[in-house]
Amino acid sequence: MTAVSFAIVGGGFRTKYFLNVARALPELFDVCGMVVRDREKGQVIERDWSVLTFRTLGELLAVHTPDFVVLSIHPAANVEYVDDLRRAGIPALVETPPAADLEGLLELHRLTRLGARIQVAEQYAFRPMHAARLQIVQSGRLGDITQATVSISHGYHGISLLRKLLGVRFEPADIRGMRFESPMVAGPTRAGPPIEESIVMSKRDIAWIRFGDKLGIYDFTAGQHRSWIRSTHLSVRGVRGEIDDHRVNLLLDHRTPLHLDLERVNRGEEENVEGYFLSGIICGDQWVYRNPFAGARLYDDEIAVAACMRKMADYARGGPDFYSLAEGAQDHYLAMLIEQSIQSGDEITSTVQPWAED
């Protein structure tokens, strides 16, 4: 596979993930340019990343024809840019969430019917440990899956994992949510570690989401994914076994239980001199995940972003969907209904949206 040429619209926090992946894997990805409206900010990016910046998408497309364009901007601005890219015949990789509200999601769906090619950069299912868990689920070793609990990340990210673990797509769901607030010492933010101790009120959102005979439990505390004192948790239960974080409990037969661990295999430790990187994840005597970018110095979220980018390159060249607008829209739609249930105190039932009909 030759290096794919892509452009980025936006200059915020998330763009650094795409830039860092491209820097680490130049044989796979080439950033032909970025659209950054603020000239001074663009000059800083050019200096730090050696990437050309443009003030408008039109200026960039007058010089380059990328294989795809990453939209890493405010969700409300996606519709206009997706429409421009549709007219130019260029696929869009849209950051999460793909739109700010239901109206925006429906408008993006309308553009797909007009020919817009959109995928969503929902990376959580491609993180190594989640990918390993999904491989076990999809192998059938746990039997039919009936329940999953995700306390990993907020909103649409958590919903994306719940739906994949449970094997549901656009089925109606009954949602009941609640919020609990309690004091907690503030932890790191996007800006870095805290500079002093401070007490903040943390919001814990819990929702029970019933997809017919399957139950998803969403549990997230604001700031949990960066906190040093709040843990993440994931469990999935099937007829024949379960995954509880890094432990897999299943049956060899009805008299023989197996209790296995998901173990990360790293290179570059002790006497190994291959370089420091994740090789993969083993469960018992089986590989359940192999790092497709082994050798590159990427941490888990960057590996997941790189997987999105490589799948997007395949999609741009005529390959299949890997995270369609319909999937990303459904994640955000359910996340918005959770918030609605929390605010109203009512149980809410989702309805089948137009993107599920295609």
Per-residue pLDDT tens digits for 74-109: 999 999 999 999 999 999 999 999 999 999 999 999
Q: How far apart are the first and last CA of the chain?
A: 31
d(CA 88, CA 7): 14
pLDDT at residue 273, as a whole number: 82
Per-residue pLDDT tens digits for 293-331: 999 999 999 999 999 999 999 999 999 999 999 999 999
pLDDT at residue 1, as a whole number: 60
For position 95, which CATH number holds?
3.40.50.720
Residue 26 has pLDDT above 90, yes or no: yes
Q: Are residues 252 and 293 in the same domain?
A: yes
- Measured CA distances, 263 to 149, 236, 266, 283, 289 (Å): 21, 18, 10, 6, 10
Residue 265 has pLDDT above 70, yes or no: yes
- SS3 sequence of 188-216: CECCECCCCCCEEEEEEEEEEEEECCEEE
Q: Averaged over 323-351, what is the pLDDT?
A: 98
Q: Are residues 34 and 160 in the same domain?
A: no
Q: Which of 54, 88, 121 is the last residue of a domain?
A: 121
Q: What are phi and psi of 325, to 5 degrees?
A: -60, -40
CA-based Rg of the chain, rounded to a whole angstrom? Answer: 21
For position 255, which CATH number holds?
3.30.360
Q: Are residues 144 and 261 in the same domain?
A: yes
pLDDT at residue 234, as a whole number: 97
Q: Are residues 143 and 259 in the same domain?
A: yes
pLDDT at residue 358, as a whole number: 73
Give the position of tokens 């032909």: 32
Which of 153, 146, 189 is closest to 300 using CA atoms?
Answer: 153
Report DSSP letters for 70-113, one per residue: EE-S-GGGHHHHHHHHHHHT--EEEPSSSSSSHHHHHHHHHHHH
The answer to whether residue 305 is domain-embedded is no
Q: Are residues 104 and 200 in the same domain?
A: no
pLDDT band for position 275 (cuts 50, 70, 90): confident
- Measured CA distances, 77 to 72, 95, 117, 144, 171 (Å): 10, 11, 17, 41, 29
Q: Which of 62, 97, 121 is the last residue of a domain?
A: 121
